[in-house]
Amino acid sequence: MVLKKWHGSVLLLLVSVFANALGAFVGINIGTDVSTLPSEINIVAILKAHQITHVRLYDADSRLLKALSNTGIEVMVGVTNEEVLGIGESPSAAAAWVNKNVAAYLPSTNITAIAVGSEVLTSIPNVAPVLVSAMNYLHKTLVAADLNFQVKVSTPQSLDIIPKPFPPSTATFNSSWNSTIYKLLQFLKNTNSYYMLNAYPYYGYTKGDGIFPIDYALFRPLPSVKQIVDPNTLFHYSSMFDAMVDATYYSIEALNFSGIPIVVTETGWPWFGGSNEPDANVENAESFNNNLIRRVLNGSGPPSQPTFPINTYIYELFNEDKRPGPVSEKNWGVLYTNGSAVYPLNLGTSNQITGNSSSLFCVAKTDADSDKLQEGLNWACGQGQANCKAIQRGQPCFLPDNLVNHASYAYNDYYQKMHSVGGTCDFDGTAMTTAADPSYGSCKFAGSSNSSTSGGISPTVALSPVSPGAWSSNLEVSRLQFLITAVLFVALMFS
Ligand SMILES: *[C@@H]1O[C@H](CO)[C@@H](O)[C@H](O)[C@H]1NC(C)=O
Ligand SMILES: *[C@@H]1O[C@H](CO)[C@@H](O)[C@H](O)[C@H]1NC(C)=O
Ligand SMILES: *[C@@H]1O[C@H](CO)[C@@H](O)[C@H](O)[C@H]1NC(C)=O
Ligand SMILES: *[C@@H]1O[C@H](CO)[C@@H](O)[C@H](O)[C@H]1NC(C)=O
Ligand SMILES: *[C@@H]1O[C@H](CO)[C@@H](O)[C@H](O)[C@H]1NC(C)=O
Ligand SMILES: *[C@@H]1O[C@H](CO)[C@@H](O)[C@H](O)[C@H]1NC(C)=O
Ligand SMILES: *[C@@H]1O[C@H](CO)[C@@H](O)[C@H](O)[C@H]1NC(C)=O
Ligand SMILES: *[C@@H]1O[C@H](CO)[C@@H](O)[C@H](O)[C@H]1NC(C)=O
């Protein structure tokens, strides 16, 4: 059955290359109910310092949109709930909105989505009848301006429109919303857009009255007796976040739609709360958000849709101290307004949040077993996605032409890109970290002060796998996979 096996591995690769091409990312919401909001220039400086690549605004603030121009940061703008009704009732209001708040900033500000309202069905249900009309009018304006490929239109919904999200396989939308949601899904499908979901394990946990272990909400491993399994599909849910996303996929499927990706437009954890909100604390918030980032950047989807990465926007950049409600409501921010992190947080792969980069390098042990070294080298340059160009014949790090040298280069390249998202310097015991820069001559190791590739990579390319857990047991297969990946990339580039 050799043929079948090859076939399977090619398919698998296709899928993983696709995920690569699309990229998994973690962005951040910028709420502005902040009493001492930094200037837009400073906000953008803070975003850049933390290597944030995707932001969502709740409106279309003109100063912030201008400040975001030529930064490479992708921006989702928002139609506020107050604006939805007017736009839903008037195509010309929709056209005016797009011209003023989107077209005027393109292409220098990279606006890629319009979020229409915020949880409209649950927060302003009286406007629901015109929600999809509003989206349609906005989309038509984009089409007329030839911007519909650049800018997608969608609408963030609360998970509350799914009355029983667990088990995910039986979840359905509250049927009183059937007709609106049916129209919505039809719109998303027809326009190649995505479903926007606000999913809060914090509320799932705190409102669950102890049904769920906190470790489940915080993406921590569960003992086998406590694993959360869907009785119908037998899928294991390693986190409540995955279950919430899957509940939404199943609800969409119950209305006979498929192929509409979900983007999580809000999730997070408050780091401070009132005396009746003990779970809103720094330890939980730090745990949730760091584990979330690691989870999302691993690039896989939830159990029912393993090939759809769960692109996610964290709620939120700064504490919004002016928001009404309980104390926790004002304490979801991950950064202070001076730009320093509330708790250590690796947004993407930047070390700047936690302070200094460790400036550690990862190199091969000189006395390591050569078979293991070869395997580690193959893995790093293949699945590990290290950039191994410099150790090819004729390139600056090819000489000395030996396994330890080549493995060191590849291990280190992998490690510099991946250690902040959980990648380790181990390679089956053949690697070790060192503070000494292994660069020599014109061979510059990643992370070296003179290397152009220092300081990691942008989250959009930080993908699975984050640790060399899945060793290919077969060298030939791993070489072949590498080759196929390369060929597919070339194919994608020219398609
Ligand atoms: C804007 O973002 C899109 C989506 O990631 C990307 O393809 C495009 O190159 C970006 N455009 C600019 C001008 O940065
Ligand atoms: C469904 O939505 C309606 C209208 O908002 C609400 O009255 C009802 O309680 C919801 N049903 C469930 C099961 O949540
Ligand atoms: C809404 O859709 C669900 C799922 O397809 C279906 O079971 C239910 O009967 C529908 N409800 C109404 C009121 O149409
Ligand atoms: C979905 O499709 C199935 C099978 O074709 C059908 O029985 C069911 O009524 C459909 N449900 C809806 C909500 O359209
Ligand atoms: C930033 O602000 C926070 C909270 O006010 C404070 O604790 C921290 O020391 C400040 N950091 C710097 C670098 O000023
Ligand atoms: C960061 O590193 C630089 C250079 O190695 C050093 O001078 C500085 O003191 C470090 N800062 C912190 C906060 O560790
Ligand atoms: C580092 O880069 C600078 C500027 O490109 C160059 O002048 C210097 O010689 C380099 N240092 C080493 C050790 O290669
Ligand atoms: C990615 O995360 C999911 C959910 O935690 C997990 O099932 C999967 O094994 C992870 N994939 C990799 C390559 O680490």
User: Each residue of 152-191: pLDDT tens digit?
Assistant: 999 999 999 999 999 999 999 999 999 999 999 999 999 9
Beta carbons within 8 Å of 325's beta carbon, 6+ residues apart: none
What is the spatial distance between Cα 43 and Cα 421, in angstroms, rounded to a whole number? 24
Is the N-terminal amide bond of 168 cis, ω within 30° of 0? no
At 466 the pLDDT is 29
Regions of the chain with pLDDT less than 50 = 1-22, 349-358, 453-495
CB atoms within 10 A of CB 276: 9
Q: Are 116 and 155 in contact (CB under 8 A)?
A: yes
Q: Which two tokens stand for residue 128?
A: 């629901």
At 209 the pLDDT is 81
Domain with CATH 3.20.20.80 in the chain: 24-330
Which pLDDT tens digit goes with each residue over 366-390? 778 999 999 999 999 998 999 999 9
- Name the nearest CA neighbour of 440 among 393, 390, 403, 377: 390
* Pairing verdict, β 228-229 and 236-237: antiparallel
- Name the nearest CA neighbour of 228 among 246, 218, 240: 240
Does the annotation mark 286 as catalytic? no
Q: Whose CA is nearest to atom 5 of ligand 1?
A: 74
Ligand nearest to the CA of 158: 2
Domain with CATH 1.20.58 in the chain: 361-462
Q: Are 384 and 470 in contact (CB under 8 A)?
A: no
Q: Where are the alpha helices (DSSP H) in 301-432?
A: 370-381, 403-418
What is the spatial distance between Cα 378 and Cα 372, in angstroms, rounded to a whole number? 10
Q: Are 142 and 151 in contact (CB under 8 A)?
A: yes
Verify whether ligand 1 is closer than 6 Å to residue 72 (CB atom).
Answer: yes
Beta carbons within 8 Å of 478's beta carbon, 6+ residues apart: 378, 379, 382, 383, 472
Active-site choice (119, 286, 316, 320): 119
**Pocket lined around ligand 3, Cβ cut-off 6 Å:** 172, 175, 178, 254-255
**Helices and strands of the chain, counted as H and E runs:** 15, 13
Closest atom of ligand 2 to 125 CA is 5
Homologous superfamily in CATH for domain 24-330: Glycosidases (3.20.20.80)
What is the spatial distance between Cα 470 and Cα 379, in angstroms, rounded to a whole number? 9
Closest atom of ligand 1 to 23 CA is 5
Which pLDDT tens digit goes with each residue over 286-300? 999 999 999 999 899
What is the spatial distance between Cα 362 and Cα 417, in angstroms, rounded to a whole number? 11
Name the CA radius of gyration of the chain, rounded.
Answer: 24
CA angle (456, 457, 461) in 5-degree steps: 145
Kindly give the distance from the C-alpha atom of residue 295 to the centroid of ligand 8, in angstroms, as a whole number. 7
At 361 the pLDDT is 81
Does the annotation mark 320 as catalytic? no
Three-state DSSP class for residue 70:
coil
Query: Going by CATH, does the domain composed of 361-462 fall within 1.20.58?
Result: yes
What is the spatial distance between Cα 126 and Cα 129, in angstroms, rounded to a whole number? 7
At 355 the pLDDT is 31
Q: Are 485 and 383 in contact (CB under 8 A)?
A: no
What is the spatial distance between Cα 58 and Cα 64, in angstroms, rounded to a whole number? 12
Kindly give the distance from the C-alpha atom of residue 260 to the centroid of ligand 4, in angstroms, as a whole number. 17
Q: Are 157 and 266 in contact (CB under 8 A)?
A: no
Q: Are 395 and 389 in contact (CB under 8 A)?
A: yes
CA angle (185, 189, 192) in 5-degree steps: 135
Q: Which two tokens stand for residue 55?
A: 């932001």
